[in-house]
Amino acid sequence: MRGRPGDEFDLGRFGLMPRMKCMVQTGRRTLASTLRSLAAVLALAATAVGAQNAPSLPSAPEIIARSKPSVVLVGTFNPLANPRFAFRGTGFAVADGTRIATNAHVLPEPGAEQESQLVVQVKQPSGAWEIRKVQDVRLERSHDLAILDIGAPALQPLPLKTELPQEGTEVLFIGFPIGGALGFSHVSHRGMISAITPVALPAPSSNSLNARNLSQLRSGAFNILQMDAVAYPGNSGGPVLDARTGEVLGVINMVLIKNTKESVLAQPSGISYAIPIENVARILQR
């Protein structure tokens, strides 16, 4: 193809224009594909960096190991009785570590066991149990909760998560099922929050059905955590822990009984209940 300066040529006649357009379009597609690949690589790199910087969650064995020293035996001590220590339930350290959360129904009825002192037992690193006298008691029977003041030295308090957990949250709980039958060893269970349902707790006995308690029953129900987990007598007052973080979500309160109280051991229903920990936090703020 020859010409002089200023001559005009029809490139389409020689089949060049379509080819040039194709090259331009191919170049655009290649550039777009390259940019997309680069963006994907950058996204993966950012995810990897975020994963490295994000704090790792503890495993269930780690949560159990670090929580057990904060979980105590609750009972009464009478130096003239046999046995001298009478186990009544489980408790756990909260607030500054000098206070123990448990169930109100774990404590003796007013006037009962007058010869006995309310105590908790704390497991020492050596494996021995140390008796600590309860110096003060704060009760809220409408939610079946009690806060026990044991004074110094403080225990390691468990962290509380006051937001109501979602159904389906996996949980751990630690306590002393069946009391001394297992040698007062910390026992851990695993389950799931299967429902959050309203409930109104009755008074622990007919003697407690006074005007105030009846008013509390009429004033309305509160939320309770229903768990797909097996708890036994002795677990009452123990902490329900978030299985991912170790934070306390609730306080074990009761189990669903199929037939009689005796059947709770031979034929457990597998349904247990806990008081949301927000109620403990509210009592501690008073």
Q: What is the pLDDT of residues 255-282, one digit of tens each?
A: 644 444 444 444 455 678 999 999 999 9
pLDDT digits (tens, 9 = 90+) for 217-236: 445 578 899 998 888 888 99
Nearest alpha-carbon partner for 182 in 260, 73, 53, 80 = 73
- The CA distance from 104 to 192, in Å, is 24
Nearest alpha-carbon partner for 92 in 138, 150, 136 = 150
Average pLDDT, the chain: 78
C-alpha distances out from residue 273 to 63, 112, 142, 191, Å:
21, 27, 15, 11
Q: Model's pTM, two decimal places?
A: 0.72
Nearest alpha-carbon partner for 125 in 104, 156, 158, 85 = 156
200 and 249 within one domain? yes
Q: Which of 149, 179, 194 marks a domain boundary? A: 149
Banded pLDDT at 41 (limits 50, 70, 90): low
With respect to residue 14, please indicate whether it lies within any of the assigned structural domains. no
Nearest alpha-carbon partner for 97 in 151, 162, 161 = 151
With respect to residue 160, please indicate whether it lies within any of the assigned structural domains. no
Q: Which of 114, 149, 184 marks a domain boundary? A: 149
Q: Which two tokens stand for residue 202?
A: 């009755």
The CATH number given to whatever domain includes residue 259 is: 2.40.10.10
Whether residue 9 has pLDDT greater than 90: no
201 and 102 within one domain? no
209 and 126 within one domain? no
Task: Tally the domains of the chain.
Answer: 2
- The CA distance from 91 to 146, in Å, is 9
Rg (CA), the chain: 32
Nearest alpha-carbon partner for 271 in 224, 237, 238 = 224
Q: Given CA atoms 262, 266, 271, 272 in this order, what sign does their dihedral have? A: positive
Residue type, 112: A
Q: Which of 93, 114, 149 marks a domain boundary? A: 149
Q: Please provide the size of the chain in residues.
A: 286
Sequence-ordered list of residues with C-beta below 8 angstroms from that of 30, at least 6 positions apart, any chain = none
C-alpha distances out from residue 10 to 1, 7, 14, 19, 22, Å:
11, 10, 8, 14, 18
Percent above pLDDT 90 for the chain: 49
The whole domain housing 105 covers 61-149
Q: What is the pLDDT of residue 132?
A: 96
111-120, 158-167, 181-190 — most confident range: 158-167
Query: For 44-53, 66-75, 208-217, which range has the lowest pLDDT when averaged over its residues?
Result: 208-217
141 and 188 within one domain? no
Q: What is the pLDDT of residue 58?
A: 86
197 and 135 within one domain? no
Banded pLDDT at 42 (limits 50, 70, 90): low
Contact 203, 213 (CB under 8 A): yes
